[in-house]
Amino acid sequence: MASGGPGPPLGERLGPRSCSGERLGPRSCSGDRLAPRSCSGDRDRDRDRDRDRDRERAGPRSAPAPGRPLTLEREVGVWDTVLLEPLTEQAFIANLHQRYKHDQIYTYISQVLVSVNPYKKLPLYSSDVIRAYRSCSRFELPPHVYAVAEEAYRAVREHNSDQCVVISGESGAGKTEASKLIMQYVAAVSGRAKEVNAIKGQLLQSNPVLEAFGNAKTHRNDNSSRFGKYMDLEFDFKGDPIGGLITNYLLEKSRVTAQQPCERNFHIFYQLLTGADIQLLKSLKLQRNVENYDILKQGRPLQYETLDDKRDFQVTRRAMDILGLTPDEQQAILRVIASVLKLGNVTFSPVNNIDGSEGCVVDNEYDLQDACELLHTDTASLQASLTSHTLDGRLDAVTVELSAAEACSARDVLARALYSRLFAWIVMRINETIKPKKHAKRKVLGVLDIYGFEVFERNGFEQFCINFCNEKLQQIFIQLVLREEQEEYVREGIEWTPVDYFNNAVICDLIEKTNQGILSMLDDECLKPGHGSDEGFLSRLNAACSNHPHFSVISDNSSPAHCFRLKHYAGDVTYDVTDFVKKNVDALSRDLSLVMYRCDLPLMKALFPEGNPKRVTLRRGTSASAQFKISLGALMKSLAAKQAHYVRCVKPNDTKVANEFDSELVRHQVRYLNLLETARVKRVGFAFRQSYESFLARYKMLSLHTWPSWCGLAAEGVTYLLRDLPISMAEYAFGRTKLFIRSPETVYELEEYRRDRLEELATLIQKTWRGWRQHRLFEAMRKSQIIIASNWRTWKAKEELRAMKQRRRTEWAARLVQRAYRGWKRRRFLLRLAHHLPSESPLCREWPRAPPPCQHASALLYKLYHKWRCHKYRMRFDQTSRNRMREKVTSSIIFKGRKASYPKSLNKHFRGDYVKLRKNMFWKKYVNLNWDDRHVVFAAVVNKVNRSNGQFVPVLFVLSTSSMLILDQRTMQIKYRIPAPEIYRISLSPFLDDIAVFHVRAHSPTRETTVEEPNLPGCLMGGGDSGSKHRKGDLVFQTGHVIEIVTKLFLVIQNATGKPPDINIDTEFEANFGQSDVVFSFKASGHPDMPPGQIRIIRRANKMEVIL
């Protein structure tokens, strides 16, 4: 056999397995067994090594938490109750309790997963755990909801079959969290392309939005789903999600206007009031206090430790952004929510009309007006529709005023209609976003998260529908898991001992049977004129169902009147028929529909299409129970068409406390969920079945007898195939048309063998084709190479000789041409330069391009020419222009690249005198007394910075050719005079501020002076008489002309002393304030509220901070 071939025959690689699990050798042609082989043989090691390689491709695995490795050996109790001994109810519950105490909340019943709600966070859902369960059989690792998700996803991807995960259990058992974990797992293990990640993000973000608008806090669950949700995840041929479809069932809209004690309304109301900012609440005309809204303060208390409404609101808004809801759509949704809150506050007072009939008026019109403004509708129209009703007669319409109670009922119907239709619109809008964009063959994985069985002190219409839905789910579980499986064993001739179980079909018939069921009688009562009554409905039930074993009428005083009792699969439930008829119809009046449709808010036309005046119909709308029955039937049909995987959620206690296990409560759930019967059926039954044709078509490559094709009977081919595999005969059984395999581990091993064999066959095909292609290519290349090499060597020798001769002739000619060309280029450049000199403007940068030999000479000529034209340009200036140019050049030398505000001063002329000081009479008087200050260089009003608190004080700043003067801008009184030689340094910051610090020499005497003193000393003075002289220190100014002041002062000091002063530009420097030194610190805060150039000065001890 050539190297890299397919290996030995499969019978030699995979020996059969005995009943005890021991690996045996291959069968001989006669069917006799050969010598046994150990499980630790080379074959098993190779297969394990291949499996490890596959898992490494899928990603690394690690334990969920330190000290908890993912191995079955560490499991407490029995991880699969099919293996439980003895299989009794007490042992079953004890096993669940033992595992629950060790935080092992998942337990298998063969392929059914039992999940016990821990009521606390467990380290079981990290990315490492997801990688561990990826591409693993559910029986290789401890029980987990990820294992169920992996099995369903693998069946979709590899078997191209539709799957669904049915999650059932009581309210508060953890169904919603289980569905989110399944979606999280599928998103983590599927493709990671950019487009696929976007789709997965949208699918996952649909959960926060639907939970915000469809979930509420109840007695048993802080995040109870008050609607049913079925999501179809659609995949392409690669197993990547391409979209989805969400179907919702029976939102509990009565919760909008009424809640039981200690329960809340839907989460979105509290999230909006708690998490929205002030501007949003103001635009929605809302206040943050929940107590201000009647529909929110019915249930108490209002705050819960497990709910963070503020954080959840941000999560909801972010999820709506990801789902593609535009800002206008989100604003419209919130406006409808706010209008529901406002409508809940509207109250009515009864009044007596002139004709003696009872009418009503609105008490608090401001709430009604706010609701109308939110919906962009007319207040008078809505008020009229709430307080009156129009009856369409044959000839004309009659308006009838409503009583206060009827108006309140109309208000509640409108609030419920607004919210329920908004919720349906949101689901529709999400479906538009997540629907597949490509029309191609799709595979579906459905996830059903629907309300759990509910029993409250008062059970109404909603609980009746919810429990009916759970009855239907229990019926399909019984039908698929218990009844059909046992019937199939009998039909296929498999030896079988029937397992007894309770079939709840009789209860489903009692509720939904046509013309005789409870729902049909409820619809008949609603068809009566005036929509019938609850008492009439109860009378119908008593007359039709009194003899039914699962129905009873309450005749004692143990329950309130108007009640009946049903014996559900989960126990007896007493229903109060009050408002059954009303909630079943819950019809919105034509008047209110018209008003809502005429709202200027675009969303309202989509919510109330029946309000369109062009759509006039007299047909009675479908009742709520009929709609629910139809949608539930479609759901059951969809589940029956898919391969179902079951997660049965169990609630350990009613107090929602961790580590508390109520055995009686769990016992009740184990009984009505038929968990023990399921374990008994799975224990003696078979986990997998398939027709002989399908089984042979999928696994025929595992035997040399059936590969590549089998021409005989399919059952005979399956027999040969199984003989060649290391599978014990006790693991399978032959039926009339199907093959039955007992354990899921055997099915997983078959898939492993098939995967390994497909890899070998693919390797064989690739190896053979590549070898043939390479051999053919090699022969052609060998022949071509011989011919090419011979001709190439001949041609190469001739070319080398010709090239050598040509190179010598070319080198001689090139040297001759180069000498002539260089001389011509030099002459031509100099002649052209002489006749075409550039402009005489110093700004002109043009210069004729020189050839390479003349580059150095060209540079020297350009410098001489530029120096000459600059000299010529300067000669045309008068003295004033020269001084201005000198100032601009000096400012460039000082500030260019050092001060951020310098570029702004480039296009500004240095005017010098900004206050026309030379014409001022006080100044002329002063100049007559002080002839040295007669030449004013600069004069402007600046801000002197107070050195104690950083405040600005406006003063007149004057700079003459000999000194710097500070004057009072109103009285022209001179406060300070500083001779130019006494200023030795000027300090500034590199930022956009206009602050400059002038440093005065320390030895100068200082005192304040006035205009009347003719004999001014040579520097700053202060204090009083000459006997009390003291040093005031450096001066700090702020002015918009800081570049001009510093430049002119720089030139004045340079002219006076013969050397320039020190210009210090830094973010931190020292200044002397008389008796102490202060550190100036400039900081650029970058605060968005502070405009550029604005400063704030803070004095702290010996440090003055300037914050920009």
Nearest 5°: the CA angle 600, 606, 610 is 100
Maximum CA pair distance of the chain? 139
Name the residue with tokens 């169902």. 545
* Separation CA 693–CA 374 (nearest Å): 65
Select from 975, 971, 942 the least CA-distant residue to 956. 942
Q: Which two tokens stand for residue 379?
A: 């207040």
* Separation CA 452–CA 175 (nearest Å): 8
728 in active site: no
Q: What are the CA-CA distances from residue 221 to residues 77, 165, 307 (Å)?
A: 29, 22, 11
**How many other CB atoms are there within 10 angstroms of residue 1082's CB atom?**
20
Q: What is the 3-state secondary structure (H, E, C) of 986-1044?
A: EEECCCCCCEEEEEECCCCCCECCCCCCCCCCCCCECCCCHHHCCCCCCEEEECCCHHH
Q: Which two tokens stand for residue 496?
A: 């079988």
Please check whether residue 1000 is in contact with residue 1033, taking contact to mean a CB–CB distance below 8 angstroms: yes
388 in active site: no
224 in active site: yes
Sheet holding 241-249, edge to edge: 106-109, 112-116, 643-650, 163-169, 443-449, 228-235, 241-249
225 in active site: yes
176 in active site: yes
Single-letter amino acid code for the residue at 1065: I
Catalytic annotation, pick one of 207, 224, 891, 943: 224
Catalytic annotation, pick one of 81, 95, 215, 225: 225
* Separation CA 776–CA 678 (nearest Å): 63
171 in active site: yes
* Separation CA 566–CA 575 (nearest Å): 8
Please check whether residue 521 is in contact with residue 540, taking contact to mean a CB–CB distance below 8 angstroms: yes
Residues 6+ apart with CB under 8 A from 54: 135, 755
Q: Which two tokens stand for residue 1083?
A: 């900081």
* Separation CA 2–CA 769 (nearest Å): 14
* Separation CA 184–CA 125 (nearest Å): 9
* Separation CA 794–CA 800 (nearest Å): 10
DSSP track, 54-78 = HHHHH-----SBTTB-S-GGG--S-
Q: Which two tokens stand for residue 287?
A: 């206040």
The 3-state DSSP class for residue 655 equals coil
* Separation CA 531–CA 321 (nearest Å): 43
Catalytic annotation, pick one of 11, 15, 169, 172: 172
Catalytic annotation, pick one of 107, 171, 257, 728: 171
Nearest 5°: the CA angle 425, 431, 437 is 145
Catalytic annotation, pick one of 137, 176, 316, 943: 176
* Separation CA 153–CA 183 (nearest Å): 10
1069 beta partners: 1080
* Separation CA 1002–CA 1000 (nearest Å): 6
Catalytic annotation, pick one of 81, 190, 207, 221: 221
Residues 6+ apart with CB under 8 A from 297: 290, 291
Please check whether residue 617 is in contact with residue 417, taking contact to mean a CB–CB distance below 8 angstroms: no
Please name the residue ranges forming H helices in 66-193.
89-101, 127-133, 145-158, 175-189
221 in active site: yes
**How many other CB atoms are there within 10 angstroms of residue 151's CB atom?**
22
* Separation CA 67–CA 147 (nearest Å): 21
Catalytic annotation, pick one of 211, 454, 485, 749: 454
Nearest 5°: the CA angle 52, 56, 57 is 120
Please check whether residue 938 is in contact with residue 884, taking contact to mean a CB–CB distance below 8 angstroms: no
Nearest 5°: the CA angle 130, 134, 140 is 105
How does 469-504 read in b/e, with b if 16+ C-beta sit within 10 Å?
Answer: bbbbbbbbbbbbbbbebbebbeebebebeebebebb
172 in active site: yes
**At what angle are helices 675-684 and 663-672 packed, to 10 degrees?**
60
Catalytic annotation, pick one of 299, 452, 685, 1033: 452
Please check whether residue 83 is in contact with residue 619, taking contact to mean a CB–CB distance below 8 angstroms: no
Residues with a catalytic annotation lie at 171-172, 176, 221, 224-225, 452, 454
